[in-house]
Amino acid sequence: MAEQSEEKQAPSEWVKIVSRNDGHTFIVPREVAMTSGFLRHTFDPEGGFMEGTQNVCILEERHVDSRAVAIIVEKVMEYLSHKHLYGKADAREEIPDFQERIPPDIALELLMAADFLESA
């Protein structure tokens, strides 16, 4: 009988965010996803969620036109990357304004998604 290893596998360096509405998949570094409170808890291997072991989170947006969901998720992932990159920047560093990257026609939906994902 073979011994079973109790050693836990290290979490993947990459996670997959899937937009259920339209099937778009975004593969992002785990450390970028961890800047979102929701995703940090979801991908926590000790949290008891299957996402923590499978490294895949499926997001469903109910209040957004299904054609716009991928755009919203993409913009949130872009913001998380921006936050990760500049979050601990020195006060003397010039940080690009992220608001310039937000099309006005998705601003409200993006705000709701950011609130849900605890990414602000």
| Mean pLDDT in consecutive groups of 10 residues from the start of the chain, 120 residues | 51 90 91 95 90 90 69 92 90 88 91 84
Asked whether residue 102 is assigned to any structural domain, the reply reads yes
Q: How many structural domains are present in the chain?
A: 1
Using an 8 Å Cβ cutoff, are 73 and 38 in contact?
no
Q: What is the CATH number of the domain that holds 109?
A: 3.30.710.10
pLDDT computed for residue 59 by the predictor: 86
Asked whether residue 2 is assigned to any structural domain, the reply reads no
Give dist(CA 120, CA 110) in Å, integer. 11
Query: Which range of residues forms the domain containing residue 37?
Result: 14-88+96-116
**How far is the CA of 2 from the CAs of 5, 9, 10, 46, 56, in angstroms?**
9, 18, 22, 26, 30
Asked whether residue 4 is assigned to any structural domain, the reply reads no
pTM of the predicted model, to two decimals?
A: 0.80
pLDDT computed for residue 33 by the predictor: 95
Asked whether residue 8 is assigned to any structural domain, the reply reads no
- For 35, phi then psi, to 5°, come to -75, -10
